[in-house]
Structures are given as structure tokens and as C-alpha cells.
Amino acid sequence: MLSGGGRGRPAFVGNGDADELADPLPQALVLTAIVITFGVMAFLLAMAFRSWLLNRDDDVEDDVEDRRVAAALAEEDPS
């Protein structure tokens, strides 16, 4: 929000000097980020709820391939 500068006159009122007008872009970007965050959060919660309805469990099964990759990495770098 600091990138918008200090308070200024609204950009859509009158024909004033450009230095005196407020920059609406930082506020628009912040509001867009908030909306996207809420959307992603709602999607994640919907997926978790759907998983619960299908499996009645919140535990994600281990993947055999993930275990194989982890074992191979452990053999390469023992530290």
C-alpha cells in the first residue's frame, strides 16, 4: 500500500494535475490478491471436504514411488 504514495485527490474527479491524483493500482492489486487467496482457500477446503466424504479419513496414503525416490536420495547423500 505504501507504493501508492500519499493521499491524493480521486483519479476520476476533475482534471487536476497528475501529481495530485491518487494511484488506484496498488489498491486494486491488493484487493485482487485478497480475492485470489479466498478463492484458493475455498477450493482447498472443498477438496478436503470431498476427500472426507469419499474416504471418511483425512490421512493421505503414502505413494510407493515417493518412498523409492526418498530411498534413492538417502543412498546418494548420507548426510
Task: Report pLDDT digits (tens) over 18-74.
Answer: 666 677 788 889 999 999 999 999 999 998 899 888 888 777 677 788 888 888 888
The total of other beta-carbon atoms located within 10 Å of residue 3's CB is 9
- Domains contained in the chain, number: 1
The confidence score (pLDDT) of residue 38 equals: 97
pTM above 0.85, yes or no: no
> Domain residues for 60?
2-76
Residues 57, 51: Cα–Cα separation, whole Å = 8
Which one, of 68, 51, 69, lies nearest residue 59 by Cα? 51
